[in-house]
Structure 1
């Protein structure tokens, strides 16, 4: 409002300067119109032409806050100006009244103004042609009034359309930004879940074995030095293996774009015999059977299968009995992993070494199920006969599994 008031003052001053310079016509619409309307003066004082100018300038003051009122003030001022004798300053300011009403007013107002002004231009051209008894004047008058009235309205409609398009594009950009932020958050959550699974599977296996074996040394007083040494060697081996895997993961996180390093530290189902060996060293009787022809697997399937086997052996070590039947079966387009472990009334650890009271996060089965699901496989875990069975079936087709575990 303050800025528009300043523009109105500037317009009023410039209009008065134009009046002082003689940029006006002191005759009414025409001599013939003055003859038809007896109360119209043939000439008017120049000071009276400042009244229409003032009305149109007042329309400039309220052009943003009350565009319809600005149009009403401008139309009133322009009508008086045409009656008293038109002036250049009032005409110029009136074009701003038309422009502001079409730009800031209701959306339908601009279209209504365009049609009304076009019709009025034709009507005024006809009246002037009749009063002047010259048909050629019709084209000139209609064109002048038409351009004077429609040009600012059309300009305002174009600007308004561009502003509407800009607002739509801005809203669309904000929506795209929100969607991108949601995708980013989802990716972060997925990565955090993946890292949690990796850390759980990596640490639980080694540290469960360390906890059980160290409990054995602390709880049994009758162990000879050879047995103690063997247990401590197994503890050391599990510690070294755990630290190596942790270093591998940290290196992978620091160099996430290096495909060769990721391949170098990749875990494979073919290394299941190493898992079985470490489990045996921890005191678990693992009977491993590999069926079918071993072959190269997609990286995501290889890692998922390795971690499922690792977590199955860890759970058996923590909660089950001392025997595990482990089967790895390479089938046509799939690989099947089965781990059977009897669960008796007394755990192996409590029977042999006392109770280590190992904590459990409850995330093992959830993590195994998530791993199988991410590569498009199936997973089941639950009671089986007198024990507990873990059964996973994973696809091995290269075309069905993308890097990162996504499934086509």
Structure 2
């Protein structure tokens, strides 16, 4: 409690300098008035000391400081008076507005203005001389002007603090936007990297394992052929990814994004890579040519979903058909990939689950619906008999422009 009202350095400096200045004026015999009830020389020091004490409280207890200051100023009028007491009172009034409550900051200027006007009218009526206006002017300079100055400084400080807080808030929002943009870009590049390379590396892993585990020259030769083809394709995809990273640069033109027109090549490549595992991949595209072109984000997402689904089939699917279905109904593009669900013989490639996460993220960004899982093969679509389970990946993508979420 004591530390909360401890005066700061400025208050101590003002109090000490005011007190010393008043004592010096007293020693020199300089007073502001004379012929008052308490005309003893020492009486002037009492309100001077009280006003100096009020200065000590100017910041931490402005209301108490103003109360003491008003009493000291009134008491000073019954002595010979000291200019130092009056000057310190102006600072106490200024501090009461600047450091006081908002209510005090609103009321004190109005109150001092009313006191100034009322005093001027009163002294004019009493003395009936124009010189009475000087008394009203002095009262205004001692009370109203310091209060008005305090309001001005307080308003400026409040505006500066509001501007500082607004700038800090803007900086925080900008940092949040930057962080979200970086995270979104990293997620996008992670999806692109996974979808570009996973298909080829899965084929390389499966056929290299087969070449190492089966001691047969023809098998090894075929495996090496597939490994070379996928290595070349993977290198080409990596170059395209580098092109995406350098997009907009001076020395690198943006690389073209894959489209659904390239699905035939993707199906053919999957048949080559999955031949040793008994996979037979087919494409059923029921879209009509009159349906019109697809937005680039939708077409890229559809291609990547098919690519990742075929990669998962190559790594995990049991021998049997892998069917890719592409259809368009109104404003929805439907992508569906089915494969036989179960264990498979021969070498396999490990999976991390990142592919399903990436597909779901792509569909969510486009405002579509995504579903993947195992189900019975007798669902009425001819995927298998009642004892066979299939793995189905299904995505519905809106084809209207402006559906991509930032």
The answer to whether the 8 A contact 1:67-1:100 is kept is yes
What corresponds to 1:195 in structure 2? 189
**Residue 165 (1) aligns with residue 165 (2):** no
Matched, 1:80 2:75: yes
Match of 2:109 among 104, 107, 114: 114
Superposed CA deviations along residues 236-261 of structure 1, whole A, max 9, x for unmatched, are: 111222233223323422x2444995
Unaligned runs of 5+ residues in structure 2 are 1-7, 378-387
The CA deviation at 1:100 is 0.9
Which is worse superposed, 110-119 or 305-314?
110-119
Describe the shift of the 1:90–1:2 C-alpha distance in structure 2 as closer, same or farther (beyond 3 A): same
1:156-189 Cα shifts (integer Å, max 9, x gaps): 1222222223223322332232222222222233
C-alpha separation between the residues in 2 aligned to 1:98 and 1:168?
25
Query: Matched residue of 2:77: which SS?
Result: helix
Matched ranges for 1:65-144 at <5 A: 65-122=60-117, 124-125=119-120, 128-129=123-124, 132=127, 134=128, 136=130, 139-144=133-138
Measured in 1, the distance between the counterparts of 2:26 and 2:68 equals: 20
After alignment, is 231-240 or 178-187 more displaced? 178-187
1:316-337: per-residue Cα shift (whole Å, max 9, x none)?
1112134212233355544332
Partner Cα separation in structure 1 for residue 32 and residue 363 of structure 2: 90
Q: Contact (CA 8 Å) 1:56, 1:90: kept in 2 or not?
A: yes
Q: Which residue of 176, 193, 213 corresponds with 1:182?
A: 176
- Cα distance per residue 1:258-316 (max 9 Å; x no partner): 49957424222221122112211112321123333296432212221111010111111
TM-score by length of 1: 0.82
Report which stretch shifted further, 271-280 or 116-125. 116-125
**Residues 48 and 245 from structure 1, CA distance in 2 versus in 1: closer, same or farther, beyond 3 angstroms?**
same
Query: Distance in 2 between the 1:335 and 1:131 partners?
Result: 95
Query: Which residue of structure 2 lines up, in the alignment, with residue 364 of structure 1?
Result: 355
Q: What does residue 342 of structure 1 align with? A: 340
1:212 aligns with 2:189: no
Match of 1:323 in 2: 321
The alpha-carbon deviation at position 102 of structure 1 amounts to: 1.5
**Conserved 8 A contact 2:240-2:255:** no
1:306 lines up with 2:303 in the alignment:
yes
Is 1:7 equivalent to 2:14 in the alignment? yes
Unaligned runs of 5+ residues in structure 1 are 29-33, 35-39
SS across alignment from 1:86: coil
Mapped partners of 2:213, 2:155: distance in 1 = 84
SS of alignment partner, residue 83 of structure 1: coil
TM-superposed deviation, 1:342 = 2.4
In 1, Cα distance between equivalents of 2:249 and 2:302: 23
CA distance 1:109–1:12, change in 2 (3 Å): same
Q: Give the Cα–Cα distance (whole angstroms) in 2 for the partners of residues 384 and 167 of structure 1.
A: 66
Q: Which moved more, 1:204-213 or 1:186-195?
A: 186-195
Contact residue 125 and residue 137 of structure 1 kept, 8 A: no
Question: 1:317-371: CA deviations, max 9, x gaps?
Answer: 112134212233355544332222223x542xx1xxx2x2432112322321221
